Chains A and B, each alone.
Chain A
Amino acid sequence: MKLVPGYEYQLDLSLDLRVSLEAVLIQRLRQQPKTRHQEWLRRLLVLGFREECKSLQQTVGQTIRPASDTGFANWLTQEPKASSANEVVTEKPKQSAVAVGLVNQKPLAALQKVLGEQVA
Chain B
Amino acid sequence: MSPSKTHRLAPAPLAPPLEATAVIPAESAPRLAAEVQVMDTLRVGLDDGYAFTKLVLPNNQLVAIPSRARIGQAGVTWIEANKQRVFEYSTEGSIYSVGKVDGDSTRFTGYPVSGLHRCIVQHALQQASLGGRSVHVVSGLPVSAFYFSDGQQRSGAIAQKRDTLKIAVEPRSSGGMYDRGRPPVSVAFHEVIPEALAAWYDQVIDVKDGEASLNTARVETPVAVVDIGGRTTDYVVVENQGILHRSSGSLSKGMLDVHSQVSRAIQKQFNLESVSEQRVAHAVNRQTVRLHGHEHDISDIVKEAKLELVTQLHAETRRQLGLGEELDTIIFVGGGSAALASDIADWFPNQQIAEQPAFANARGMLKYLQYVCEEPVSCHAH
Chain A contacts to B: CB under 8 angstroms: 17-18, 20-21, 23-28, 30-31, 40, 43-44, 47, 94-104, 106-109, 111-120
Contact (Cβ within 8 A) A96 B371 = no
CA distance A22 to B142 in the complex (A): 30
In the complex, chain B residues whose CB is within 8 Å of the CB of A94? 210-211
> Does B153 lie within 8 Å of A115, measured CB to CB?
yes
Contact, CB under 8 Å: A109 / B374: yes
Given contacts A96-B380, A102-B374, contact A23 B13 (CB under 8 A): no
B166 touches A17 (CB 8 A): yes
Answer whether A24 and B41 are a contact pair too, CB < 8 Å, given A111-B201, A117-B153.
yes
Bin the interface of chain B by size. Answer: 35 or more
In the assembled complex, how far is the CB of residue A72 from the closest CB belonging to chain B, in whole angstroms?
14
Which residues of chain B in 347-382 are interfacial with respect to chain A, using CB atoms and an 8 Å cutoff?
Answer: 368, 370-382
Q: Which residues of A contact B58 (CB under 8 A)?
A: 95
* Distance to closest chain B CB from A102 (angstroms): 5
Whether, in the assembled complex, B167 has its beta carbon less than 8 Å from a beta carbon of chain A, the answer is yes
A-chain residues with CB within 8 Å of residue B188 when the two chains form the complex: 20-21, 23-24, 27
In the bound complex, residues from chain B placing their C-beta under 8 Å from that of A97 are: 377, 380-381
Interfacial chain B residues near A99, Cβ < 8 Å:
377
Q: Are B375 and A103 in contact (CB-based, < 8 A)?
A: yes
Is B242 in contact with chain A by the CB < 8 A criterion? Answer: yes
In the assembled complex, which residues on chain B have CB atoms less than 8 Å from the CB atom of A17? 166-168, 186
What are 8 A-B contacts with C-beta separation under 8 Å?
A20-B136, A24-B14, A28-B12, A97-B380, A106-B375, A111-B214, A114-B241, A115-B194
Determine the chain B residues whose CB is within 8 A of the CB of A95 once the complex forms. Answer: 58, 210, 370, 381-382
The docked-state distance in angstroms from the alpha carbon of A45 to that of B72 is: 40
- B373 in contact with A112 (CB, 8 Å): yes
Taking chain B's interface residues, is the majority helix, strand, or loop, or is none over half, making it mixed? Answer: mixed
Chain B 88-147 residues near chain A, CB threshold 8 A: 132-134, 136, 147
Residues of A within 8 A of B380 (CB): 96-98
Is B345 positioned at the interface, with any CB of A under 8 Å from its CB?
Answer: no
The chain B residues found within 8 Å of chain A, CB to CB, are: 12-18, 35, 38-39, 41, 58, 132-134, 136, 147, 151-153, 155, 158, 163, 166-168, 183-184, 186-189, 193-194, 197, 200-201, 204-205, 210-212, 214, 238, 241-243, 368, 370-382
A114–B382 CB distance below 8 A: no
Give the CA-CA distance A113 to B166 in the complex, in Å: 25
* Closest residue on chain A to residue B13 by CB atoms: A98
Contact A114 B374 (CB under 8 A): no
| Given A104-B374, A111-B201: A43 in contact with B155 (beta carbons within 8 A) | no
B134–A27 touching, CB < 8 Å: yes
Q: How far is the CB of A82 from chain B (nearest CB, A)?
A: 15
The answer on a CB contact under 8 Å between B373 and A113 is no
Contacts of B136 in A (CB 8 A): 20
Of A18, A101, A103, A119, the contact of B153 (CB 8 Å cutoff): A119
Residues on B with C-beta less than 8 A from A26 are 186
Q: B378: which of A20, A107, A113 is its contact (CB, 8 Å)?
A: A20
Q: Are A40 and B166 in contact (CB under 8 A)?
A: no
| Measured CA separation A26–B189 after assembly (Å) | 14
A94 to B380, CA, bound (A): 11
Tell me which residues across on chain A come within 8 A of B155, comparing CB atoms.
118-120
Known: A96-B382, A111-B205. 16 other contacts (CB 8 A): A17-B186, A18-B166, A21-B376, A24-B378, A26-B186, A27-B133, A30-B183, A96-B380, A97-B377, A98-B13, A98-B380, A99-B377, A106-B374, A111-B368, A112-B374, A119-B153
Q: Name A109's closest neighbour in chain B (CB-CB).
A: B372
Chain B residue at smallest Cβ distance from A97: B377
What is the CA–CA distance of A21 and B376 in the complex, to the nearest angstrom?
9
User: When the two chains form their complex, are residues A43 and B375 in contact, meaning their CB atoms are under 8 A apart?
Assistant: no
Whether B371 and A107, one on each chain, are in contact in the complex, defined by CB atoms closer than 8 angstroms, is yes
Chain B residue with Cβ nearest A100? B378
Bound-state Cα–Cα, A47 to B15, Å: 10
Chain A residues within an 8 Å CB radius of B379: 24, 98
Q: Which residues of B contact A104 (CB under 8 A)?
A: 373-375
Residues in A with CB closer than 8 Å to B189 are 20
